Structures are given as C-alpha cells and as structure tokens.
Structure 1
Amino acid sequence: MSAGFLLYFKLIGSVLFWGGTWIAGKILAGHLSPYNAGFLRFFFASFFMFFMVKKFTGHYPRITKKQFFPVVILGATGVFLYNILFFTGLETVEAGRASLIIAGTPTVIAISSALLFKEKFTFPKILGFIISLTGVALVIARGNPLDILHQGMTNGDLCILGCVVTWAAYSIAGKKTVDIVSPVEAVAWSCFIGTVMLLPFAISHDLFSQAASAGLIDWASLLYLAIMGTGLAFSWYYEALQVIGASKTGIFINLVPVTAVVLGYFCFGELMGPTVIAGGALVIGGVWITNRN
C-alpha cells in the first residue's frame, strides 16, 4: 500500500468517523445528561490524545504560561460549550438534520475571519454565506423559512445553531493558538481543559449513577466518540493537513453531513424529505463557494 493511498484512506476514515459521531451522540442523548456524555467522551479522549501528542511531536503534552490562556479558550468553546449544546440538541433533533445545520460552520468561520482578521472579503464569500444561510433556514424550517419568523425555532434547533457559533469561535481562536502551540497539542490541551470544566457539572448531574447504569451500547458509543471521533479522526486529519495542505483536506469535510445523513437513515430510519436534502445541498454548495480558493 503506497504512502499516498494510505494518507487518503486515513483522511476518508476521519470523515467517516466524524459522520458517525452524530449517530453515537444521538444514542447517548437519550441515556446520559449532556454534561455526563460530554465529560465521559473527553475523559477517555484525553488519555488517547496524551499518547498521540507523543507520537506526533516526540514529547508528552507540555505548556507554558503564554500558551495557557489560549488553550483555555479552546477548551471552553470547542469542548465545554460545544458538547453541552451538541448532546442537548440531539435529544430532540434528528442526527442527519443536525449535521446539515452544522455544515454551515465553515462559511461562518470564513466570514468571521474576514471581519476579525481583515482577510479579503470577496464576493464569493458573501455569496457562499447567503447560500449556506438559506440552506440552514430550509433545513430548520423543513422547507418554509418564513415559518421561523412566525413560529420560532425549537430549543433543539437553537442548541445546534449554538454549536455553529461555539465551533466557529473555537476555530477562530485556534488560528492564533497554533502559532504558539502545535495543532495536535492544541487539540490535546483543549480536551484536557474542557474535561476539567465539565467535571463539576457532570458530578452535579448524577455522573456516577448514570455511568453505572449505562448499557453496553452507551459505552461503545462513548469509546467511539473518544477514540474514533476525537483521537483518530483529528490525528489523521492533521496528518493529511501537514502533507497535502488545507485546501485539499478541507474539501473532504463537506462529506461529513452526507455521511451523517446516510447513517441516520440506516441506523434510525430518519427520512430526509426533498426540502431538507435541497437545504443540505445549498449549505454544502455555499461552503464550497466560500472556501473554493
């Protein structure tokens, strides 16, 4: 097996693993509180990332005073807040539908970067943002965006939209953080810190009793999220990022919601109507337009 083939195999594997996180998250959302599900996921992921840092950098995770505050921001946004909103939203929102809403995140990141970091604010970015936003509105409203104005959104939809905001914040903060911390160490430290932040909330939500009563499927889902969806997926993605660059690897991210929709259909029988599929196509198309350069 050639090195190039293996690299793309890992990249596709990371996309499939990320698509599967929506299925595992949906399973856990019905059995564990969002705080407990998030804590247990990143508790195990932290152990895995500890050794992955050693593999990628040649040393175990370390940090300086200068690096501490930036990685705290990463842990607070990308792990603590994101996972509370992720598991809360999946209590009521279908896995495939939620993944299509989240798919608009890269466009939000691109527009935010243009505003905050004075990156070139081009017409394709504006067009892509409008198209993605239209697609998200179609998915949320199931075909009639005007219903949002009259009926509002459900708490589940608001939580999934919150995931878009927190992940965008995590990514924007990460753009500066990776200047002073290696990418894999930034992921590891965000896991460590986010886990610590989640701990007191998990304990107050019956962590030990819920963990003791969790079934085999729940534990399998947690380990999947920790090892496959966090440790391996991020590590493989960063490995590809270093070799073939951000533009080529970024294209594959558009396959994550597609994978989640297909898995949602086969695992839960979630049916995606034509308007939801059309909305998802608009979201992914808008992302491509925004990031095509």
Structure 2
Amino acid sequence: MKIYIKLIVAMSLWGGTFISGRVLSQDFHPFSIAFWRFAIASAFLSAVLFRSPKGFPALDKYQLGKVALLGLSGVFAYNYFFFSGLSTVEAGKASVIIAINPTITAFIASFFMGEGVSIKKALGVISALAGALTVITKGKLLQMDMSEFALGEGFLLCAVICWVAYTLLGKIALKKLSALEATTLACISGTVMLAPFAFYYDGIELMGRADLNQWWHLFYLGSLGTGLGFIWFYQGIQKIGASNAASFINFVPVAGVTIGALALGEKVDESLIVGAAFVLVGINLVNWKKRAA
C-alpha cells in the first residue's frame, strides 16, 4: 500500500510542475527556468546516486554520447518548449496536451521494436490525439482550422516530440545504465547545455530578482517535481513493475487540472474535461496489453 501512495504523490508532484512552470514563465526566460530547475535536480539526484551501492558509473565515449543526446532531447529542448508553452497556455490545459506523451511514445516504439500496431493501439493514439485537439480547439474539433493552433500550443506539441525522442533514446541507454543513472546523467548534461543560454538571458539576474515565492517554485520544480517524483516513480517500477507503475501516469493531467483550478483559479470547461477523458482512454488503450499480461 505504501508504494501506491508514493506513486500517487509522485504523479501529483509531476502535475504540480505545470503550475510552477506557469507561474515562473510569466517573469523569466524558459532557458533560465530550465537551467535552475535542473541545476537543483542534478544536485538532488547526484546525492542519491552517490549513496547508491554502485555510485556514479564510469562511462565510455559511446555512453557519453548517448547521455548527451538524452540531455539534449529530454532536458534542453523539451524544457525550452515546455516553459515557452506555459508562458501563454494555462497549466491545466498544458497538462492534458503533454499527457499524450506516453501514447505517442508507445505507438512509435512499436515500430522500432517490431511489435506491429494493434487495432487497440491505433485507436488509443487516435483517442489521445483527439483529446489533445479538443483541448487546443476548445471543443471545436470538427470546425478546426490552423488559426486554432496558437504559438503556445505549438510549443507544447514540440515538447511532446522531444519527450518521445528522449524516451526512445532512453531505451537504448538503459541497456547498460539504470534508470537512476541515466536520468541523473541526462540532468547533468542538460544543465551544462542550458547554462550559456540561461546566463545570456536572465539566468544570473533571476538569482537577485526572484522573490521567495518564485524561488519556492524553482525548488519545487527541481527537488520535488523532478528529483523526488522520479525517485518514487523508480521505486514503484522496482516494486510493482514498469507497466503497473506507468498506469499511474493517468493521474498527472488530473492533478494538473485540479491544482491549476485550485491554486491559479483556472477555469475548467467542458472541452478540457472531455479532452482529458479522451487522452486517458487513449493511454489505457495503448497500454492495455502490457497491463493485462
């Protein structure tokens, strides 16, 4: 029972990252927010990895290249688009759009692993995409035109593409690295990549200009939303298996919408509820076979 509580809390922490990202993106550049988020996360995860039985792994040049690609796709690029999107898109809405990540990833991964695409998986992808488009178009899916796609939503869809790339690259990296090792090293490499861009904009200025509330949101993003959230999710995978733990990801958009409404007063309209439902159905259809096995 304890691990299930940890997984629910971890998903809530991930849902909360949309709120913190929304707050910070109103005042600071995406590169600066991302840098401080992962500087904090790198310190947190490095401390955990140092205390693990294996400690920090020794990497050869090929592994270094893979880690760099993980940092580029999942930390540098993803977070630039993530925070850029949150500068104009409400947190709850963003959490539903980003929630199509596992569905698109599983669909594309099926081609790389030669599993083929089942009818359920195809329907799951269609359902998830329909849900995201319902949210983007505010329920006017059948009357959709290109003008409905604002820049913020476009950034978030780019973030989805980056996360798919990160996840697929991670499947290769994890053949020789544990999830904790790969994530920690990706955070560190991504932080190094973010540094010059962050300091070019307002990364240094942020240190003096951010108030206590904004520093809390940065701390939350780095240590709780990224560090602790991952650790507990990783523990869940170890205890109940990857497929069962992954099913808890359904809770992320629910948490994002709920916290966004409570903390930021965001409106929860019918299109957001219907879109979220389509996305959740899509996630479950895509992962149906894995959970039933």
TM-score between the two structures when normalised by the length of structure 1: 0.95
Cα distance, 1:117 vs structure 2: 2.3
List aligned pairs for 1:1-293, cutoff 5 A.
Answer: 5-293=1-289
- Does the CA-based 8 Å contact 1:50-1:61 persist in structure 2? no
Q: Secondary structure at the match of 1:194?
A: helix
Structure 1 Cα separation of the partners of residues 172 and 29 of structure 2: 33
Give the aligned residue type for 1:88: S
Measure, in 2, the Cα distance between the counterparts of 1:38 and 1:57: 30
Instruction: Look up the equivalent residue of 1:110 and give its one-letter code.
Output: A
Separation in structure 2 between the aligned mates of residue 170 and residue 239 of structure 1, nearest angstrom: 21
- 1:106 maps to a residue whose letter is P
Q: 1:89·1:160 contact (CA, 8 Å) conserved in 2?
A: yes
How far off its partner does 1:54 sit?
Answer: 2.5
- Alpha carbons of 1:56 and 1:10: their partners in 2 closer, same or farther (altered >3 Å)? farther
Give the Å deviation of 1:60. 2.9
Contact 1:240 1:249 in 2 (8 A): yes
1:251 maps to amino acid: S
Identity %: 39
Deviation at 1:206, TM superposition (A): 2.7
Structure 2 CA distance, aligned partners of 1:132 and 1:207? 36
Whether the 8 Å CA contact 2:18–2:256 is kept in 1: the answer is yes
Distance 2:69 2:120 in 1: 30
Q: CA deviation at 1:239?
A: 1.1
Measured after TM superposition, the shift of residue 150 of structure 1 is 4.5
Unaligned regions of 5+ residues in structure 1, if any? none
Return the alpha-carbon distance in structure 1 between the equivalents of residues 67 and 164 of structure 2: 15
2:59 and 2:18 map into 1 onto residues whose CA distance is 32
Return 169-178 or 48-57, whichever deviates more.
48-57
**Quick one: distance in 2 between partners of 1:259 and 1:186?**
26
Structure 1 CA distance for aligned equivalents of residues 42 and 57 of structure 2:
11
Give the TM-score normalised by structure 2.
Answer: 0.95
Give the number of aligned pairs. 289
Following TM superposition, by how much is the alpha carbon of 1:147 offset from its aligned partner in structure 2, in angstroms? Answer: 4.6
Cα 1:57–1:231, aligned 2, differ >3 Å: closer, same or farther?
farther
Q: Which amino acid aligns with 2:256?
A: A
Does the 8 A contact of 1:53 with 1:61 survive in 2?
no
Structure 2 runs not aligned, ≥5 long: none
